[in-house]
Amino acid sequence: MLDLKRQHEAIHGELLEAVKHVLETQQFILGERVAAFEKAAAEHLGVVHSVGCSSGTDALWLALVAAGIGPGTSVVTTPFSFFASVSAILRAGATAVLADIEPVSFNLSPAAVEAVLDGPRGRGVRALLPVHLYGQCAEWSAFARLGRERGLTLIEDAAQAWGAEWQGGKAGGLGDAAAFSFYPTKNLSAAGDAGMVATRSDALAERARALRQHGMRRRYFHDEVGWNARMDGFQGAILLVKLKYVEKWNEGRRRLAERYHALFAKAGLVETGPYPQHGVVLPRELAGRRHVWHQYAIRVERRDALREFLAGRRIGSEIFYPVPLHLQEALKGLEYVEGDFPEAERAAREVLALPIFPELREDEQETVVAVIAEFLS
Ligand SMILES: Cc1ncc(COP(=O)(O)O)c(C=O)c1O
């Protein structure tokens, strides 16, 4: 599914140099390389501030709390995401409200959000948290309009979307604040856990910086209860190296996605969708967006059987995500039931992510498609 060694081999000299520098300077927590990464990352995204932190989960929590989200407020997000999109809202002390997704993009549906805002759970909603799932931006114009009309804060979960664009604007610079994850599988990845908050707001950045150090602005004077959510020096140094390559890697992912499209078409397997019948519904880059293909998720009918068939041929695949968040045991307290979000529930039954990473070889891609063709025949 993902061979991280291939990326490492290409740049391991530079990475070792970066790690050595941290050992020599002994700046293990935050420090010079983290600061240099924060500056370079903010320039890359076209935002003013970036605040390095310990994970994407913490970045979400920091962004929410720094934006004033807490007890007595609600935040709307998607049921079809990684658990952290909802758990960070709960950690902030707020209420998580969910709205269904769109079947083609798998992203939060603006129409569904609007209906929720007008319904009983809409009272108390102060923020929207769309997720740019699989590397493609959510329908941002509609969320920006909702934000303006209803005075809502917009926070992007950009964990999967480094380099993605919406009408020329980069993910991470679209909302009031954004959270990135540099988990090792991400398009821009650390060698461990790391994350980042991006924002144009001076006040939000300043508060996030304090919150990541237990609410300290002056050493051992705590203005509010924060948490330990700092980025470590090794991760900052490694990310600073990888930042130089991430555009090239994203271009590689885009070429691979095009190639998958072509191979599936040539094999005669493509269905128009949005739901599969006997073939494969391919993921699509929608108008006005730059998809960075964190995942290439197809939809198929007998998904679990196909996954087993692929595994039998030693081909990795993954289900992001098999259980929508409203049906997770830990989130029973949100008081949703099966049937509440039919699109998310259906996607959870049908999606299958295929191998896509910049160093994936053409012959490997051909094998993946050939084995799927064999299964479907
Ligand atoms: C959409 C989404 N949100 C949040 C996170 C949390 O990031 P992390 O694993 O770095 O805490 C992830 C990554 O795992 C993610 O994919």
Query: What is the per-residue pLDDT across 35-81, written as a single tens digit (0 to 9) for each?
Result: 999 999 999 999 999 999 999 999 999 999 999 999 999 999 999 99
Q: For ligand 1, what atom is nearest to the CA of residue 181? A: 10
Pocket lined around ligand 1, Cβ cut-off 6 Å? 55-57, 81-82, 84-85, 131, 157, 159-160, 181, 183, 193, 195
pTM score? 0.98
Residues of the chain with pLDDT under 70: none
**pLDDT value of residue 300:** 98
Closest CA to 69 of 154, 141, 133: 154
Which pLDDT score, from 0 to 100, does residue 171 have? 98
d(CA 336, CA 346): 16
Tell me how far CA of residue 292 lies from CA of 48, 94, 323, in angstroms.
23, 31, 24
With the most atoms of ligand 1 within 8 angstroms of its CB, the residue from 181, 320, 351 to mutate is 181
What is the distance between the alpha carbons of residues 15 and 1, in angstroms, rounded to a whole number? 23
pLDDT digits 0-9 by tens, 160-175? 999 999 999 999 999 9
Going from the Cα of 218 to the center of ligand 1, the distance in angstroms, rounded, reads 30
Closest-lying ligand 1 atom to the alpha carbon of residue 186: 13
Q: Provide the pLDDT for residue 67.
A: 98
